Chains A and B, each alone.
Chain A
Amino acid sequence: MQSTLLLTLLLPTSAVPVIYLTGRKSAKTAAILVALIALVDIALLSTTIPVVLDAAEHEYVESYYWIPVLGSSFTLFVDGISLSMAIITLMLILTAALFSVNYMQEKKGLAEYYALLTVLFIGLVGVFITSNLMLFYFCWELMLVPAYFIIGGWGYKEPYRAAFKFFIFTHAGAVFVLLGIGAIFMVTGNLDMFEAQKALMTAQPDLVKWILLSLTAGFAVKMAVVPVHMWLPDAHSEAPAPMSALLSGVIIGAGAYAILRVSLGTVFPAVAVMATDFGNQFLHGLAVFGVISAFFGSLIALVENDIKRVIAYSSIAHMGYVLFGLSLFPFQEIMTGTVLHPEAMAGTVLHLVNHAVSKGLLFLSAGAVMKQLEIRDIREMGGLAGQMPVTATASTTAALSIAGVPPFACFISEFLIFVGAFQTIHNDNFYLLPTALMLVATVLSLAYALRYIRHIFLGPMKLEKAKEVPFFMKCAMIILVVFVIVLGIWPTFFLDLINTVSFV
């Protein structure tokens, strides 16, 4: 088809009013409609898989007239990485919508909820399937507004407080991204990521350094890297469970994707060539922040007692792994022009995918527990495995995956990251210490995962009234359980897609 990608965005856009109107009559129908649209979008995107796998340039591009004065055309583009991210995002939206049918049942204003979810959907998918920085920024901010209202409108305790924090932090990050994008346009006169990459090669090195720092700092806020993580624990734990799943699964993943695609993919090559020392230090800096985030998140997750905050802090830890993976960007290869070891990057992107599925599942199952028990302190829970077998299975699968236990999804990607790290040590012995520390951090993640499962599902039964969750919630969790296991045993599908992309 000629305009597959445009259709992928137009479909949810045109569906927003329909979903709102349907939602006023029957919330369930609206939810199923959102899920269906996600499914159709997956099908649409799947039609581009053969192109991406086979074509010589390994990408699929559509371009439309938009704002020529600003060097922007409405360019939609997929390659292996963006396709993987977009598909997994759609999967999570699908399950989040299904999960919401029962989870949100008693809440008011569901028509608005599903309409906002669809707007979020446009933004999330759009971020992954464009190569124009202006359009990218549009979608980037489009995630923010509906997320703000969903957290605020349907969250727990003081939701608007958490939502406010979320909005201000990520918006503050976004304006620095904007500054970077503006500077790129100013230097290159173009906003296409790939054109800009070439044009930046001849720019003034000092300016390019600042662009790199400004963009990375902005994206790091969305990615919730320590020390700009403060919004995450509140937003993730106060949001309704389907929204937490999306936030933790893909929204922070989008931050990592943006660092990979824009900071490292577009700007970094110019820095690496013109200011080699600085480029090296920059990557080392990423590694350091990655290690700090991983330890900080894991340690707090180990002592936190609120069911969702444990998971929220584990997200920070996992973004630490991802950031560490990103710091293994094939720097030497850019200089020499040869591809030596693609494992680190493939592992990092695969970890984004796997983490999205696992963390999504973990948040959904935590939501299921909270919904049935109406408490959130894990010390008051216990022995739920007998009463809620499906939820228990789902939680355990997800928690073990998060801990990096084979045969679940996250194991294989963490493994790949470490393989890449050891190969990099060969060239650059700075990575010795960070890699060793990251290995220690995985032990910590196993510790908090086991603690989580033991407190909630094992041990003596403390609550009599607990019952298994209703049909749609089960459905959503089972879909993701299957995904976590399949991705763990057979990661080849995504790995093949990701490996089509070369960073050099």
Chain B
Amino acid sequence: MIEILDVSLPIISFVLFSLLTIPVVKAIRKRKSKTTVLTLGWFSTVFITAAVTVANLTIKYYEQPSPQPFLNITLASEPLAMFSSTFMIDAISIYMAIIFTVVGAVTFLYSIFYINLSERPSERYYSVMLIIIGCIIGVAFSGDLLTLFIFWEASAAGSSFLMLYQKTPRSLHATLKYLVMIIIASAFIVYGLSIVYGITGTLNFWAVKQALTALEDKHLLVTAFIFIAAGYAIEAAVVPFHMWLPDAYTAAPASSSAFLSALIDQGSYYVLLRVLIYILTPPTVLEWTVMLAVFSALTMIVGNLLALAQNNVKRLIANVCIADVGYNLVAITSVTPLGIMGNLFFFLIGGITTALSFMAVGILNRMGFETLDDFSGIGRKMPFTSLALLLGAFSFAGVPPLAGFIAKYLVFTAAIEANLSWLAVIGVLTSIIQAAYLLRLINYMYAKTPRKETKIKEPKKLLVPIFILVAAIIVLGIYPTIVLNLIEPVIQQLPFIP
């Protein structure tokens, strides 16, 4: 039996600390000296506490999941029992929680230095960020479709605040676009969920799955599936629902873009994975693989072609995010143990790489460099920031020994294994396009001569989190066994897949 405290502690600790953050940051701001040390001290307390709670979960449940991996929290008595909430713990949710905590901590470190502490609403920014991390861990631990929906919408809606932070006309416009999309998406999802509830009489993952497996007439289910899949596809920015993403990530401050691409994006893939593979298992319930494969191909092609045409570097990275959605979908589509492994590895590596690219671009944007032209000769002026961006780009392009290579390798191999060789070929061809535009960026950074030949001082504090992530992609590229071993139990716990 899963103890209620074990499950809820990570979520509770993030939410609680997020509320405390506002007065604490205000208090720190009033002091004249040692503000940086105090801020760092406070936030490391937050993350260490959270890490301890996640570690506790890992030790207790990771290797041997309890036979009954559900926890029901009943909020109402019998006639209203459907309003109860279910949590569940299995290897995949713990894995996601670990990633969210670790990557969240690093991106948070960047935000501390990127968002000026003395600015008025900065404490709210931090506190929203913490709440979102809590909610996204909640997504990972959800055990029924409604709980999942609530946590997921909370984190998705919360992210609009992070995009809006600078309150420029552009960011207002982008956030509005995002919110409209999110609201449409949640309407779709709610509609789909109500149909599922109507068919099965429950929203609990296991119960839904069992009910659906026994289902004879699948007409209604197809409708429900289309609504749910469309809803979550909007939030994951699958082409043709991708339009909000480049705007939102470009208009947001770099720390938000890094945070969102590393956490919210990965969260949205997780949701797709959970709903599609764990509940609507293709061979037994619904044959959705071909449809998804088409969307995945479309996303890879469109994302990469859009990126090829970009002149604004931040927008270019945002389009790489879209392409990444496509590569993730390839793995989800393949529904093989290898695919899930590739997927979970890609979650991590894709998140890290986009985050680090946004962070590096964020530093450069601060200096007033926005377009490819501005980036001319940046390699000599700001060697460290450029090096980070360079390694990030090579990791995207799938050049070993960086981690992006192993991720892509796993994904393509999974596609071949699932008899979707054509998808693997498209993936490979699009990744050549990807190499081309990333190399174009590198060409600008290193080959062109800068307009002014002056060295620029690089902000050392901001480089710390960037190089933590750079180290991660190098180490995980050379020795991916660290993470792959962590993923192993997840594969062991996939009894659903033949």
1/0 per residue B15-47: CB within 8 Å of A?
A: 000000000000000000000000000000000
Q: Which of B406, B439, B480 contacts A164 (CB 8 A)?
A: B439
User: Bound complex: CA of A164 vs CA of B445, how far in Å?
Assistant: 13
Q: A66-B481, A179-B424 are contacts. A138–B400 as well, Cβ < 8 Å?
A: yes
> Do residues B432 and A69 form an inter-chain contact, with CB atoms below 8 A?
no
Contact, CB under 8 Å: A69 / B484: yes
Interface pair B416/A141, CB less than 8 Å apart: no
Please pick, from B417, B424, B446, the residue contacting A152 in the complex, using a CB distance under 8 A: B446
Whether the Cβ atoms of B428 and A178 lie closer than 8 Å is yes
Chain B residues closer than 8 Å to A183, beta-carbon distance: 413, 416, 421
Decide if B416 touches A69 in the complex (CB within 8 Å).
no
* Cα separation A172 to B398 with both chains bound (whole Å): 11
- Distance in angstroms from A278 CB to nearest chain B CB is 18
**Closest CB-CB distance, B471 to chain A, in whole Å?**
15
Instruction: With A67-B481, A164-B443, A182-B412 as known contacts, state yes or no: A142 contacts B401, CB within 8 Å.
Output: yes
Asked if A179 and B405 make an inter-chain contact with CB atoms under 8 angstroms apart, the answer reads no
A138 touches B432 (CB 8 A): no
Contact of B435 among A66, A138, A167, A186 (CB under 8 A): A167
Contact with B along A185-217 (1 / 0, CB 8 A): 110000000000000000000000010000000
Chain A min CB distance to B34 (Å):
35
User: Given A69, A137, A179, A210, which contacts B428 in the complex, CB threshold below 8 Å?
Assistant: A179
Q: Which B residue's beta carbon lies closest to that of A68?
A: B481
Q: B316 to chain A: closest CB distance in Å?
A: 17
Chain A residue numbers with a CB within 8 Å of B406 are 67, 70
- Rounded to whole angstroms, the CA-CA distance of A26 and B369 in the bound complex is 34
Point out the residues of chain A lying under 8 angstroms from B485, CB to CB.
69
CA distance A408 to B50 in the complex (A): 71
Q: Is the CB of B431 within 8 A of A160?
A: no
Identify which of B416, B421, B432 contacts A171 (C-beta below 8 A). Answer: B432
Check A404 for interface membership: any CB of B closer than 8 A. Answer: no
B400 x A137 contact (CB < 8 A):
yes
Which residues between 326 and 367 of chain B lie within 8 Å of chain A, taking CB atoms? 338, 341
Complex CA distance for A182 and B401, rounded to whole angstroms: 16
State the interface size on chain B (CB cutoff 8 A): 37
Q: Contact: A138 with B409, CB < 8 Å?
A: no
Question: A137-B400, A152-B447 in contact; A168/B436 too (CB < 8 A)?
Answer: yes
Answer whether residue A282 sits at the interface, using C-beta atoms and an 8 A cutoff: no
- B488 on interface, CB distance cutoff 8 Å: yes
Query: Which residue on B lies nearest to A171, using beta carbons?
Result: B435
A221 to chain B, nearest CB (A): 11
- Against B, the Cβ 8 Å flags (1 = close, 0 = not) of A129-161 are 000001001100110110011001100000110
A175 at the interface (CB under 8 A from B): yes
How far, in whole Å, are A469 and B87 apart by their CA atoms in the complex?
A: 77
Q: A69-B488, A167-B439 are in contact. Are A149 and B412 (CB under 8 A)?
A: no
B473, chain A: closest CB distance, angstroms:
14
Cβ B424 vs Cβ A149 within 8 A? no
| A415 CB contacts on chain B under 8 angstroms | none
Q: Is the CB of B425 within 8 A of A179?
A: yes
B394 at the interface (CB under 8 A from A): yes
Interface of A is mostly: helix
User: Which residues from chain B contact A503 at a C-beta distance below 8 Å?
Assistant: none
With beta carbons under 8 angstroms apart, the residue of B401, B410, B424, B446 that contacts A138 is: B401
Given contacts A145-B394, A171-B435, contact A178 B412 (CB under 8 A): yes
A375 to B378: give the CA distance in the assembly, Å. Answer: 32
Chain A min CB distance to B40 (Å): 30
User: Which residues of the other chain, A, contact B440 by a CB distance below 8 angstroms?
Assistant: 164
Question: CA–CA, A469 to B457, complex, Å?
Answer: 42
Q: Which residue of A lies closest to B415 (CB)?
A: A182
Complex Cα gap A218–B128 (Å): 49
Q: Chain A: how many interface residues by the 8 Å CB criterion?
A: 34
Distance of A415 Cα from B435 Cα, bound (Å): 42
Shortest Cβ distance from residue B318 to the other chain A in the assembled complex, whole angstroms: 23
Q: Which residue of chain A has the shortest Cβ distance to B399 in the bound complex?
A: A141
Q: Give CA–CA (A210, B341) in the complex, Å.
A: 25
Q: Is B496 close to A, CB under 8 A?
A: no
Contact with B along A372-402 (1 / 0, CB 8 A): 0000000000000000000000000000000
A176 interface residue (CB < 8 Å to B):
yes
In the assembled complex, how far is the CB of residue B392 from the closest CB belonging to chain A, in whole angstroms?
14
| Number of interchain pairs (Cβ within 8 Å) | 88
Bitwise, B469-498 to A at CB < 8 A (1) or not (0) is: 000000000011100110010000000000
Cα of A502 to Cα of B409 in the assembled complex, Å: 32
Asked whether B394 lies within 8 Å of A185 as measured between CB atoms, the reply is no
Smallest Cβ distance from B478 to chain A, in angstroms? 8
Q: Which of A65, A164, A168, A175 has the most CB of B within 10 A?
A: A175
Minimum C-beta distance from A159 to chain B (A): 8
Q: Which residue on A lies nearest to B341, using beta carbons?
A: A69
- Tell me, yes or no, whether B397 is within 8 Å of chain A by CB: yes
**Given contacts A179-B412, A182-B424, is CB(A66)–CB(B446) below 8 Å?**
no
Question: How far is the CB of A474 from the nearest CB of chain B, in Å?
Answer: 33
A160 to B448, alpha carbons, bound, how many Å? 9
In the complex the two chains form, is B400's CB within 8 Å of A176's CB?
no
Q: Which chain B residue shows the least CB distance to A185?
A: B413
* Contacting residue for A186 out of B408, B413, B431, B481, CB 8 A: B413
A175's contact among B394, B410, B432, B488, by CB below 8 Å, is which? Answer: B432
Once the chains bind, are B481 and A142 in contact (CB under 8 Å)? no
| Distance in angstroms between the alpha carbons of A183 and B417 in the assembled complex | 8
Known contacts A67-B480, A69-B485: A186-B417 contact under CB 8 Å: yes
A434 to chain B, nearest CB (A): 31
> Contact: A141 with B446, CB < 8 Å?
no
For B378-414 the 0/1 string (1 means CB < 8 A from A) is: 0000000000000000100111110001101110110
Q: How far is the CB of B459 from chain A (nearest CB, A)?
A: 24
Q: Is the CB of B413 within 8 A of A176?
A: no
Complex Cα distance, B432 from A167, in Å, reads 10
Q: How far is it, in angstroms, between the C-alpha of A386 and the C-alpha of B19 when the chains are bound?
A: 86
CB distance from A339 to the nearest CB of B (A): 35
Q: Are B416 and A172 closer than 8 Å at their CB atoms?
A: no
Per-residue CB contact flags for chain A residues 24-51 toward chain B (1 = under 8 Å, else 0) read 0000000000000000000000000000
Q: Which of A37-92 contact B (CB under 8 A)?
A: 65-70
Give the chain B neighbours of A152 by CB distance below 8 A. Answer: 443, 446-447
Residues of B within 8 A of A67 (CB): 406, 479-481, 484
Contact of B405 among A68, A141, A149, A176 (CB under 8 A): A141
Residues of the A chain whose Cβ atoms lie less than 8 Å from the Cβ of B484: 67, 69-70
A153–B446 Cα distance when bound, in Å, is 8
CA distance in complex: A145, B400 (Å): 10
CB distance from A179 to the nearest CB of B (A): 5
Residue of B nearest to A172 (CB): B432
Bound Cα distance from A145 to B485, whole angstroms: 29
Chain B residues with CB under 8 Å of A186's CB are: 338, 413, 416-417
Chain B residues near A168 (CB-CB < 8 A): 432, 435-436, 439
Residue of A nearest to B338 (CB): A186
Chain B residues within 8 Å of A141, by CB: 399-400, 405
Q: Which residue of A lies closest to B345 (CB)?
A: A69
Cα distance, A181 to B485, chains bound together (Å): 22
Point out the residues of chain A lying under 8 angstroms from B432, CB to CB: 168, 171-172, 175
A128 to chain B, nearest CB (A): 17
Q: Can you sample 27 A-B contacts with CB below 8 Å?
A: A65-B481, A66-B481, A67-B406, A67-B479, A69-B488, A70-B484, A138-B400, A141-B400, A141-B405, A142-B400, A142-B401, A148-B439, A152-B446, A152-B447, A160-B447, A164-B443, A168-B435, A168-B436, A171-B399, A175-B431, A176-B428, A178-B398, A178-B412, A178-B428, A179-B412, A182-B413, A182-B416
Interface residues of B (CB under 8 A from A): 338, 341, 394, 397-401, 405-406, 408-410, 412-413, 416-417, 421, 424-425, 428-429, 431-432, 435-436, 439-440, 443, 446-447, 479-481, 484-485, 488
4 extra interface residue pairs, beta carbon distance < 8 Å, beyond A168-B432, A178-B428: A69-B488, A167-B439, A172-B435, A182-B416
**9 tightest CB-CB pairs across the interface, nearest first?**
A160-B447, A182-B413, A138-B400, A175-B428, A69-B484, A186-B417, A172-B432, A141-B400, A186-B416
